[in-house]
Structure 1
Amino acid sequence: MPVPLSPSALSSLVATLRSAGCVFAEDEAALIAATAVRPADVTAMAERRAAGHPLEHVLGWAEFSGLRIAVDSGVFVPRRRTEFLIDRAVALAPDPAVVVDLCCGSGALGAALAAALERVELHAADVEPAAVRCARRNIGERGHVYEGDLFTPLPAALRGRVDVLLANVPYVPSEDVALLPAEARVHEPLVALDGGGDGLDVLRRVAAEAPRWLAPGGSLLVETSERQAERAAGVLAAGGLVTRVDSCEERYATVVTGTRAAQPAR
C-alpha cells in the first residue's frame, strides 16, 4: 500500500523536487507518493530524483501503451513517442502473428504489441544483461527473451517466419550523445543511445539481415528522427525492402517501415 503523506509532507516533497529543477514537480511528487510503501522510501526516492536520476528509474516503472512497464536502473526508459511505432505495428500485424523485438530494452514494445494482439508468438532480444532481466519480467510467459547481439541469439527456426520485426535501434549520432539530457546520457546505457557516426550504423546491420528473417509480406519497423527518415528509408530499401515513412506530430515521432515483398502467386 502507498504511504499516506500529510499535506505538509507532500508540499515539502514538491518543494524538494522543484528546487532540483523538476518542471512537473507536483505530478512527480504524486507519483512518488503513490509508489512508495514506507516514509523512508519517499525520502530515498526524492533524493535520487533530485540527484538527476530518471523519474522512471526512481519509481521502478514507466507507463507505456497503457501498461505499467518495470524499468530497472541502468535500463533504457521507453519513450511515450514510441507508442506510435506500436500503433503502426498493430495496423500491419496479421492474426496470428510472429513478432520479434530487437534491442528490446525493458521489453516494453514486445509486451505492448502482445497485449494489443489476440494471438502472437513473441521473441525479444537485447545485448545488455540488465535489459534482458527486466524484459523477462515484463514479457513473462507471453514470450521468450534472449541475451545477445541483434539476431544472433534468436532461434534459427524463426528465419523466414517473422511477420513484425520491431527494432528500436539507437539512432543518436555519436557526436550528439553529449547533447542529450543528463538523465539519458548519464543513467541509460550508451549502447541504447549511440547509433554511430550518422546514427544509422545499427540500423544498417539490422536491415542487412532482416530480409532473411521476415516472412513474405512481413515488415521491419524502426523509429528514427525526422531529419534521418529519408536516409533510414534508403538503408531499408538497400536491403531489398519496400519502404514507407509515417510521422505523428502529436507524439513528435517518425517511423520507417520496410516490408518484404510477398511471394508471387503460382
Structure 2
Amino acid sequence: MPSPSSVSPSSSSPSSRDRVVAELRAAGCVFAEDEAELILAAARTPDEVAALVARRVAGLPLELVVGWAEFRGLRVTVEPGVFVPRRRTEFLVEQALAQAPGATVVVDLCCGSGAVGAALAAALGRVELHAADIDPAAVRCARRNLAAAGGQVHTGDLFEALPGEVRGRVDILAANVPYVPSDEIGLLPAEARDHEPRAALDGGTDGLDVLRRVAAQAPRWLAPGGCVLVETSGQQARAAVDAFARAGLTTRLAFSGDLHAHVVIGVRP
C-alpha cells in the first residue's frame, strides 16, 4: 500500500483519526497510523469509516478493506476472493523488463488481479496483452485493471485459456504461480489463509506442481528469445531452476535482498 503522503488528506477530525488508530492498534495492526489514513481516505461518511474499521479489525486484509493495492506505482483494484498482489512481485516485473525491454506480446498467467500485466503494460507502452486465471472472480477483477491497457483476460487452466494465435509469439510470459506447499498453508498469516483463494496459494506437495507445468509448456508459447518468469522461495529455487532447465530453457535465478524475492527466468534459445 502507499504511504499516507501519497493519499489525499482526509477531512476527518483529529479526534476521529485518533479513535480509528486506537481501534486498529488494539486489534494488533502494526502500522495503525498508516492504515487509519488509508481507511479515512477511502470512506465518504462516518458510517463508512466505522464499517471499514470493523472489517479490518475482523482480520480482512487492508487492501480488501479499501478496495485497492499499490503495485509498482499503480492503484490496482482488488476484490474479495482475489489474491492480493505482493510488493515482492514487483521484482518479477523488473526482471521481465530488464530481460525483454522491447517486448510487444505479453502474457500474465495465473493473473489474479492482473497487477503484473498492468505494470508491464504501463512500462512497455502499447503491447498485445493477454492474461488468464482459472478463477472467475480473478478474471472479473483483472478485466477491470487491464481494460485501460486493452488487455484480453481469459478464463481457464494455464495455457488452455490462451488463444491459439499467441502460441510461439510471446516475448514475456509472467506466471505468478502458487508455490506454498500444501502442508504449509496453515502456517500462513491469517489474512492470506482465511481471505485469499487456496488455489492462488497451494502449489502441491512441494509447492512446485504448477511451476513444473508452466516450465514444461512455456517453450511452445514463447517467441525465439522470449522469456518466462516465475516467483518462488529460496528453499525451492534450486528445484525450480532444474525444472526450467529440463524444459530446454536457458535459465538463471535472480534474487532481491530488499524484497526477499526469488525469480526464476527461462529464455527460449
TM-score range (shorter-chain normalised) is: over 0.9
Deviates more, 1:232-241 or 1:100-109: 232-241
CA distance, structure 2, for counterparts of residue 169 and residue 221 of structure 1 = 10
Q: Describe the SS at the equivalent of 1:164.
A: strand
Q: Give, in angstroms, the shift of residue 95 of structure 1.
A: 2.4
Aligned with residue 187 of structure 2, among 172, 179, 190: 179
Post-superposition Cα deviations, 1:99-127, rounded to whole Å, max 9, x if no partner, equal 00000000000000000003311100001
1:1-266 equivalences in 2 (<5 Å): 4-142=11-149, 143-261=151-269
CA distance, structure 2, for counterparts of residue 52 and residue 23 of structure 1 = 13
Identity of aligned residues (%): 65
Q: Describe the SS at the equivalent of 1:227.
A: coil
Partner amino acid for 1:32? I
TM-score normalised to the size of structure 1? 0.96
Q: Give, in angstroms, the shift of residue 2 of structure 1.
A: 7.6
Whether the 8 Å CA contact 1:105–1:126 is kept in 2: the answer is: yes
CA distance, structure 2, for counterparts of residue 109 and residue 17 of structure 1 = 30
Q: Give, in angstroms, the shift of residue 3 of structure 1.
A: 5.8
CA distance, structure 1, for counterparts of residue 184 and residue 43 of structure 2 = 36
CA distance, structure 2, for counterparts of residue 199 and residue 114 of structure 1 = 29
CA distance, structure 1, for counterparts of residue 200 and residue 14 of structure 2 = 40
Q: Give, in angstroms, the shift of residue 207 of structure 1.
A: 1.0
Deviates more, 1:33-42 or 1:247-256: 33-42
Q: Give, in angstroms, the shift of residue 22 of structure 1.
A: 0.2
CA distance, structure 2, for counterparts of residue 202 and residue 222 of structure 1 = 10
CA distance, structure 1, for counterparts of residue 102 and residue 257 of structure 2 = 29
Root-mean-square deviation (Å): 1.1
CA distance, structure 2, for counterparts of residue 196 and residue 128 of structure 1 = 17
Whether the 8 Å CA contact 2:103–2:171 is kept in 1: the answer is: no
Q: Give, in angstroms, the shift of residue 180 of structure 1.
A: 0.1
CA distance, structure 2, for counterparts of residue 227 and residue 242 of structure 1 = 21
Residue ranges of structure 2 left out of the alignment (5+ in a row): 1-7
Q: Residue in 2 aligned with 1:264?
A: none
CA distance, structure 1, for counterparts of residue 59 and residue 133 of structure 2 = 26
Whether the 8 Å CA contact 2:154–2:161 is kept in 1: the answer is: yes
Whether the 8 Å CA contact 2:112–2:139 is kept in 1: the answer is: yes
TM-score normalised to the size of structure 2? 0.95
Whether the 8 Å CA contact 2:219–2:247 is kept in 1: the answer is: yes
Whether the 8 Å CA contact 2:171–2:222 is kept in 1: the answer is: yes
CA distance, structure 2, for counterparts of residue 117 and residue 40 of structure 1 = 42
Q: Give, in angstroms, the shift of residue 97 of structure 1.
A: 1.6
